[in-house]
């Protein structure tokens, strides 16, 4: 099997820069980003601040750093952050909220990674000395463990208003915000309008090799930049990466619709395969989750990889496949055929 034959559906972070993106990177005008002298970075920040409807923005190496810096700016050690129980903050950032910002996480049980204003009200308590001070509410758009579910704009507005009424700040983990924009037809600034800070990731569906932009008020971003330097996030001539991000904004946003269509197609093709349980109608963006036999996810993804298709076990029985720009419709058809063949082989062996 050649590298070209391998179908990688493990994550949209597996994308590689296209030839045209590489050319844009090679041609990038650069300067010292730490001193605000990189013209490519400065142009990207102005563009992203406008895109997200915020005063200013900060360029960062990764989305995880964007989340962690936002917590450190909004909160003080010992404060509490309210977010959905399935949030990226809890499960995929190496304990960063506690280790870096010194905050406690107070999870809210939502549905598919989304909680509403009533659930938030139930979680908000009086500010008393013996309990952690609640300081921040976080929403993840789209919800990863929610299967790429899109927060409705009305829900975002109501949750943000409820938080602000309780004098809590708001932060949007916008790792796949542009997927939500394409799926919903709602502009990024509209999704983020009630949220004090928000970021977008360029290394997922947009296909850049790295980079994230965190946006908010000028004062918020000034403090975020200070923490970025403290944590070693300055990248000097980072216009090379910023050029890839700007290329992605120009060429890879609208095409996210192809990833969504491929995800729906994949879900439909494997629905009904022996031993698979999937809610195909729940696929809204580029994430597809399904269940296999109890405790069998690890063996299932290992068997798939041996056949040239990579997915990820997200629990004892849960499997995730993620579509992206390196996987076209033909590859989706082939991947689904491999899944169906494996399921049929397991069915025959069991009987």
Reported as a single tens digit per residue, the pLDDT across 170-203 is: 999 999 999 999 999 999 999 999 999 999 999 9
For the chain, what percent of residues have pLDDT higher than 70? 99
Q: Which CATH architecture has domain 255-350?
A: Alpha-Beta Complex (3.90)
- Of 73, 80, 81, nearest in space to 132 by CA: 80
Phi and psi at residue 104, to the nearest 5° = -100, 145
Residue position matching structure tokens 């597809």: 288
Tokens of 286: 């580029």
Q: Bridge partners of 7?
A: 309
**SS3 call for 139:** strand
- Of 296, 300, 290, nearest in space to 268 by CA: 290
Q: Where are the domains of the chain?
A: 19-251, 255-350
Q: To the nearest whole number, what is the mean pLDDT of the chain?
A: 97
Confidence (pTM): 0.96
Q: What distance lies between CA 283 and its chain's CA centroid?
A: 16
Reported as a single tens digit per residue, the pLDDT across 239-273 is: 999 999 999 999 999 999 999 999 999 999 999 99
For the chain, what percent of residues have pLDDT higher than 90? 96
Question: How far is it, in rounded angstroms, from Cα 42 to Cα 44?
Answer: 5
| Fold topology of 19-251 | 3.40.640
Phi and psi at residue 107, to the nearest 5° = -75, 145
């Amino acid at each position: 099997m050649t590298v070209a034959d391998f179908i990688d559906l493990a994550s949209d972070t597996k994308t590689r820069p296209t030839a045209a993106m590489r050319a844009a990177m090679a041609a990038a005008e650069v300067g010292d980003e730490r001193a605000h002298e990189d013209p490519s970075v400065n142009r990207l920040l102005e563009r992203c601040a406008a895109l997200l409807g915020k005063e200013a923005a900060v360029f960062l190496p990764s989305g995880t750093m964007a989340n962690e810096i936002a917590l450190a700016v909004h909160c003080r050690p010992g404060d509490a952050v309210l977010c959905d129980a399935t949030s990226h903050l809890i499960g995929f950032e190496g304990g960063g909220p506690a280790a870096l910002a010194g905050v406690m996480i107070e999870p809210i049980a939502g549905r598919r990674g989304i909680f509403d204003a009533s659930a938030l009200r139930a979680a908000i308590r009086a500010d008393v000395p013996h309990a952690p001070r609640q300081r921040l509410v976080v929403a993840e758009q789209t919800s990863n463990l929610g299967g790429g579910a899109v927060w409705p704009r009305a829900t975002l507005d109501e949750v943000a208003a409820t938080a602000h009424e309780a004098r809590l700040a708001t932060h949007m983990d916008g790792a796949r915000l542009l997927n939500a924009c394409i799926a919903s037809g709602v502009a990024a600034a509209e999704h983020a309008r009630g949220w004090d800070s928000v970021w977008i990731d360029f290394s997922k569906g947009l296909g850049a090799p790295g980079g994230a932009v965190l946006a908010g008020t000028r004062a918020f971003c000034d403090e975020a930049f200070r923490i970025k330097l403290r944590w070693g996030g300055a990248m000097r001539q980072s216009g090379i990466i910023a050029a890839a991000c700007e290329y992605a904004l120009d060429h890879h946003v609208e095409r996210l619709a192809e990833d969504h269509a491929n995800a729906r197609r994949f879900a439909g093709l494997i629905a009904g395969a022996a031993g698979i349980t999937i809610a195909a109608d729940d696929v809204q963006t580029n994430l597809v989750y399904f269940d296999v036999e109890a405790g069998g996810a690890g063996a299932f993804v290992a068997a798939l990889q041996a056949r040239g298709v990579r997915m990820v076990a997200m629990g004892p029985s849960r499997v995730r496949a993620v579509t992206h720009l390196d996987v076209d419709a033909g590859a989706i058809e082939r991947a689904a055929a491999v899944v169906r063949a494996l399921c049929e082989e397991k069915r025959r062996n069991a009987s």
